[in-house]
Structure 1
Amino acid sequence: MDRGEWDRVDGELWQHSKFGVVRVSELEALGVGRKTAYRQCQPGGRWRYLLPGIVMLDRAPPTPRQRIEAALMFARHEAVVTGFQAARCYHLRTGPDPEFVHLLIPNRYRVLSSGFAVVERTVFFPRTVLRDGIPLAPPTRAVLDGVRRVRDLDVVRAVLIESVQSGLTDVAELRRELDTGTKRGTALARRVLNEIDLGVRSVAEADALEIWRLAGLPTPHCNSVVVDAAGGYVAMPDAWCDEVALAWEIDSNEFHYSKQSYAKTLARNSRYAANGIGVVQTLPSRLRTEPEAVIAELRAAYAVALARPRPPVHIKA
């Protein structure tokens, strides 16, 4: 065919594709032979080979949506997208950029993974959620399918904390999914959920909780409101040891670049002092660069707080 003919053919074929992605068998039904289709995916051709039996009617690198469509065509059998690719469709920002499209299919089918399509057979096949025409696993399942393939604790923390903070899912739903689904690769997720139960809302706070545990101090309350004897607001410390009324604040330098934020920090510290509350302030970077020094500071502050009469402050119910 000359160029004009191919332009016309491409235009007609595009109407039978999904975002330019089409099965070779579909092309055959439309009159384009299998050899011709694959020849057009060779250097100098007009199309791109994506997966076995799947091509794209363009030479450009495929977009995330085109990769999703290609993977779904490849897997067939009621496949749904899960993991980090699905999490992106739910507008979750954290987690690694998906290098593959993770798909679930019912256990009775047999499809092997290929290229960027990772196909997982499961007896715990979820209900389908349609987003912009894409069949997705429900948010809770998608998030957990993503993190159970990760061995980086910070990534697991960031993804699960954002999924809970954003309202995409909640701790109870995540625990139910962990208890009813596969147990493979769930240890880090369970650890992070325990941290979230204690009130942790960021990776830095999770690091702080680990430092606190290593210091051997009583289990803290995280992000709980502390009030004075009359019920007046004092602060909401990152960590609070109620036994001795000791507050720990993880204060970032960036937070203090604004005059207004700096003024708020000074006012908070004044309220701590006025109520006889001991407070330790730590930069987030020191949690990893100087953990032993931070542990020593926490232990020293706890000893001082333990030696003085406990002030009449408490956590707001």
Structure 2
Amino acid sequence: MPRRTIADWDGVATAATYGVITARALDELGVPRQTVYHRASIGGPWKRLLPGVIMLSSGTPTREQRLDAALQYAGTGAMITGIAACRLHGMTQFPGTEEVHMLIPEARKRASKEFVEIERTTRLPRPASQGGFRVAPLVRALLDAARRLPTLDQVRALLAEAVQRGMVTAEALAKEAKAGSRRGVARCRVVLEELGANVHSAAEGWAYRLARKAGLPRMQWNVRLLGPDGKLLGVPDGWIDEVGLAWQIDSLNFHLRPAGYENTVRRHTLMTAAGVVVVHTLPKHIRSNPAAVLDELRRSYQVARQRPRPRVTAVPHTTERR
């Protein structure tokens, strides 16, 4: 595009959808470089957000302006991934950050700057459009974000939300984890194993790991428990089918869509009335006193063995409709 001799300010307004434009585009629209320099200098009416990227106002950029600036800085074919992309896809369970993680073609030379993290990749996916921005598909964005999260519980919260809401499958996440970068993949594999067992939350993840040390029969997770009449009794967090033992992790803080205290009490009443032994545990006790929790589970299992198994049916998640 040839440089114009007279500044096309209408063209500038049209090109800067979010009030952000590259210095090169300003030059092509006839805005003198000296004008750009002075307006974007400290105290001026414009602001330099990234090398070669100008916000046509001063002050703090909005989230949309930061995203647009990141895309313009990264160049043709680039796309947003990681937490910023997960937010655009509608996710909510992630730590707050203003960083914008970008994927660019392997051959392009571009360095991470300011709030933009650049990742060159040979596995550039087909982009999606979310909120008017070019973003990586959710499966890729989730794994790109999860690999960089510092704690296992943050990875659990992020991936579990997407699976619980039916936005992705655990199988698709596992496939992407296998194909992608090795960075941070160990924590992802831990969570993917839990998701494969139908574990839904951080607290259930702790319980899942602890139950494997109990020396008890295999525990199933989040099965639908039906009474003799086929009516739903509840969906216990953990379930030992051999003896009809249910394990409830009692915390509203660790479930994405809690049924509420009233529903919890009602389900407990239905299960105990059907003869199910129900063990209730607070998440904090799993972390602070795991030995006591294991002891309670084992004692409750022995109690459950002493009476006939109740006439209830557990429907595993693998046979449920989705």
Please tell me the TM-score bracket, short chain as reference: 0.7 to 0.9
Matched with 2:141 is 142
Q: Deviations over 1:204-244 (max 9, x none)?
A: 22222223223333331111122345545433211001122
Measured on the aligned residues, the alpha-carbon RMSD in Å equals 2.6
Preserved CA contact (<8 Å) 1:22 1:55? yes
Matched with 2:14 is 15
Aligned length: 306
Question: Structure 1 residues 129, 233: CA separation in 2 closer, same or farther (over 3 Å shift)?
Answer: closer
Task: After TM superposition, give the deviation of residue 157 of structure 1 in Å.
Answer: 0.6
Of 9-18 and 146-155, more deviation after overlay is shown by 9-18
Q: Equivalent pairs: percent with the same residue?
A: 41
Separation (CA, whole Å) in 1 of partners of 2:106 and 2:116 = 17
Task: After TM superposition, give the deviation of residue 20 of structure 1 in Å.
Answer: 1.0
Matched with 2:223 is 224
Task: After TM superposition, give the deviation of residue 275 of structure 1 in Å.
Answer: 3.4
SS in 1 for 2:41: coil
Q: Is structure 2 residue 114 aligned with structure 1 residue 110?
A: no
Matched with 1:128 is 127
Question: Structure 1 residues 211, 10: CA separation in 2 closer, same or farther (over 3 Å shift)?
Answer: farther
Alignment-mate amino acid for residue 134 of structure 1 = F
Preserved CA contact (<8 Å) 1:143 1:160? yes
Matched with 1:288 is 287
Of 70-79 and 302-311, more deviation after overlay is shown by 302-311
Question: Structure 1 residues 194, 267: CA separation in 2 closer, same or farther (over 3 Å shift)?
Answer: same
- TM (norm. structure 1) is 0.87
Matched with 2:23 is 24
Alignment-mate amino acid for residue 49 of structure 1 = R
Matched with 2:208 is 209
Separation (CA, whole Å) in 1 of partners of 2:182 and 2:253 = 40
Q: Deviations over 1:122-175 (max 9, x none)?
A: 111100112233111111111111111112111111110111122221112112
Separation (CA, whole Å) in 2 of partners of 1:28 and 1:39 = 14
Separation (CA, whole Å) in 1 of partners of 2:230 and 2:12 = 71
Preserved CA contact (<8 Å) 2:8 2:29? no
Task: After TM superposition, give the deviation of residue 69 of structure 1 in Å.
Answer: 1.1
Preserved CA contact (<8 Å) 2:11 2:29? no
1:235-254 residue pairs with structure 2 within 5 A? 235-252=234-251
Preserved CA contact (<8 Å) 1:77 1:109? no
Separation (CA, whole Å) in 2 of partners of 1:205 and 1:265 = 16
SS in 1 for 2:101: strand
Of 168-177 and 84-93, more deviation after overlay is shown by 168-177
Alignment-mate amino acid for residue 214 of structure 1 = K
Alignment-mate amino acid for residue 296 of structure 1 = D
1:63-82 residue pairs with structure 2 within 5 A? 63-82=62-81
| Runs of 5+ consecutive residues of structure 2 not aligned to the other structure | 1-6
Task: After TM superposition, give the deviation of residue 67 of structure 1 in Å.
Answer: 0.8
Alignment-mate amino acid for residue 128 of structure 1 = P
Separation (CA, whole Å) in 1 of partners of 2:233 and 2:66 = 52
Matched with 1:39 is 38
Question: Structure 1 residues 89, 254: CA separation in 2 closer, same or farther (over 3 Å shift)?
Answer: closer
| Runs of 5+ consecutive residues of structure 1 not aligned to the other structure | 1-7
